[in-house]
Structure 1
Amino acid sequence: MSEQKTTVAGPHPSAPADHSTESKAAPLQDFLRGPAGRSLGLVIALALLFVVGAITSGDRFLNLENLLTILRLASITGVISIGVTFVITAGGIDLSVGSVMGLTTVVATMASVQLAATQSSWILMVLVALAVGAAAGLINGVVIAYGNVVSFIATLAMLVGARGLAELISGRTTQIVSNRDFLQVMRAELIGIPILIWIFAVVALAGWFLLNRTTFGRRTIAIGGNLEASRLAGIKVRRHLVYLYVLAGLAAGIAGIMMLGRTTAGTSTHGLLYELDAIAAVVVGGTLLIGGRGTIMGTVLGVLIFSTLTNVFTQNNLDTSVQALAKGSIIVVAVLLQQRFAARGPRRGRRT
């Protein structure tokens, strides 16, 4: 018996040391591949942009007013991006959020709506904008889930339709917000921070909680990971998809309210190409385009990265074409990294 034990152990004297090395490396690899590791990379990228801004622009970049400008610039796109994150996590896409946002600003500033808001409360304008956004999202969801139309085509149709409807309602004119109570609230500050930034923070926190701490979020991730398996597991996939697009529409409605507060006008041109900025921020943030993994924190960091990049270019009076080229390069790198992660996924198991 003792000779057999010696024979078995003899050929592998270094095995314990190898296992020790692997056990030390595994936690680091898991951390870097996990949500915290991916967020750390985005934080480093954002910090590098701040360093570049500080070096090239000095005090102009680092003063409080400019930092608040970056956050204000990020707030409206950020709210839209939160809604888009849920849709992409489930394996879909929403190209209509920018046009829907423009439509909400037009409907909310119609003369009849503003008159009714003046006679009752400015909250009526908010409710109208939210209702319009939710209705557009509901149409998207029903067409996609029950009409079996590909999300790209359905939301592309809504992109064109919502923009056209906004032009018809407004007559391609700018509608000025006349409700002073609404403007006073939307221009208010809390402890020196504009209300638009607070709205973005609240929406981001609510989105994080919904995606990471609720059954709704787990079902969203499951549908993106494997739609058919989710259906067989008892998840009402079609109904859930409708909810997701309504959520994206509501986010567009909130963004429309914020845009009215910032510009004091409703117009069909509001939100032009915002859907592309939102999708870019979501992808750069680490949400997989193929679905199955979503991160609200990553989306927020992605929005801040693009907002800071725009500010750095503006501070240095650089050509907008160069800025577009830089954004495009960042998106390509992010997608390539996603493909690399997706290729490793089947071997190591997908993490959400």
Structure 2
Amino acid sequence: MSTATSPGKGSTPPPPEKSKARAVAPRLDLHHVSLFAVLAVLALVGGLTKPDEFLSTDNLQLILTQASVIGVVTVGVTFVIIGGGIDLSVGAIVALASVWATTVATQEYGLAGMLFCSLVVGLGCGLVNGVLVAYGPMVPFIATLAMLASARGLAEQLSDGKTQVVTVEPVLDLGLPDSYVLGVPPLVMIFAVVGAVGWLVLNRTTFGRRTVAVGGNPEASRLAGIAVKRQRLLLYLLSGLCCGIAAFMLIVLTGSGQNTNGNLYELDAIAAAIIGGTLLSGGRGTITGSVLGVLVFTTITNLFALNNLQSDVQQIAKGAIIVAAVLVQKGRTSP
């Protein structure tokens, strides 16, 4: 004799797209509010400890500019994590793209040539990662770890371990105050555009819904007709593209290309995404949260620098924030 099954036990879970719709709903949730509150507290601390320095226009521009490069990388990493993957190679890809784009041969093609080279190198590395993960198949951790080592080594080989100075004036001019629009640096505007496009893609397109679905339940997504392998490939291509953009931004910011560029970017980007509410297991996350996470970390770094505090204390503080964010996530997802 069959009995009716209660909705809470034994029932078939709703399709991934529907069950995860709340994850990318275009609204300001409690987690975002808490991140805004953290930023407010950090601003208060900065205003009380170093009011003249912290609240100055130059310092606020510096915070936003420093957040821009890692912020663009974080947007790409957020998509990969929501899709159920991980990318440990983003920092090395940024280094390789920055070095390749600042070789003497590439600089002969001017700003357009350097930008094109950065994007192509980023996309190429993303393509390799995507093929290995989606069609290899390889565990994302191993595939991207291999790319991390290979890209970093190739960057050192291309640069011969030396700093490659940019001589293209239009590229250098982008980092000067004369290029600011209403007091906003060009790099910050690029970050804003990338973040806005990322938000629209995640929340308003089929690609975004499929990303959430694949990260939440790959098998159910496959049965629903989603090309899971292709989706994963596209996610790593997107991450590589963001790395290429970030590499060019870093070239503008530093006026050079180095094999040490992007050092530990992978950890900073993943950490920013986590405290922004992205689940490492996939299926949930927001671009807004990741951007706020980047701003929190960058503001902390700025406060420590202004108050002449040691970097080891700064790393401890960041680690504590990551642990707290993960504990909050577990509390929110536990039945």
The TM-score with structure 2 as length reference comes to 0.90
**Match runs of 1:1-352 below 5 Å:** 36-115=29-108, 117-118=109-110, 122-187=111-176, 188-344=179-335
Distance apart, 1:47 and its partner CA? 0.5
The structural deviation recorded for 1:339 is: 1.6
- Give, in angstroms, the shift of residue 182 of structure 1: 2.0
Percent of aligned pairs sharing the same letter: 53
Larger radius of gyration: 1
Q: Which amino acid letter does the alignment assign opposite residue 76 of structure 1? A: V
Q: Distance in 1 between matches of 2:218 and 2:137?
A: 13
Moved more, 145-154 or 60-69: 60-69
| Superimposed CA distance per residue, residues 243-301 of structure 1 (whole angstroms, 9 cap, x where no aligned partner) | 00010001000000000001110010000111100000000000111111110000010
Partner secondary structure for residue 318 of structure 1: coil
68-77 vs 182-191, greater mean Cα deviation: 182-191
Query: 3-state SS of the aligned residue for 1:193?
Result: coil
Task: Output one character per residue of 1:159-214: Cα deviation in whole Å (capped at 9) or x when no partner.
Answer: 00000000111111111111112222354211121101111101000000000110
Structure with the largest fraction of helix: 1
In 2, Cα distance between the equivalents of 1:176 and 1:140? Answer: 29
What is the one-letter code of the residue matched to 1:315? L
Give how far 1:65 is off. Answer: 1.1
**In angstroms, what is the RMSD of aligned CA positions?**
1.0
Mapped to 2, the partners of 1:91 and 1:228 lie a distance apart of 12
**TM-score for both structures, normalised by structure 1:** 0.86
Report deviation, 1:35.
5.2
The answer to whether the Cα contact below 8 Å between 1:186 and 1:258 also exists between their aligned partners in 2 is no
In structure 2, what residue type is equivalent to 1:317? N
Which residue identity is paired with 1:57? K
- Separation of aligned partners in 1, 2:291 and 2:329: 18
In structure 1, distance between residues paired with 2:310 and 2:172: 34
AA in 2 matched with 1:200: F
Aligned mates of 1:191, 1:323 — CA distance in 2: 32
Report the count of equivalent residues: 307
CA distance in 2, matches of 1:185, 1:196: 8
Gap runs ≥5 in structure 2:
1-26
Q: What is the CA–CA distance in structure 2 between the aligned matches of 1:42 and 1:129, rounded to whole Å?
A: 32
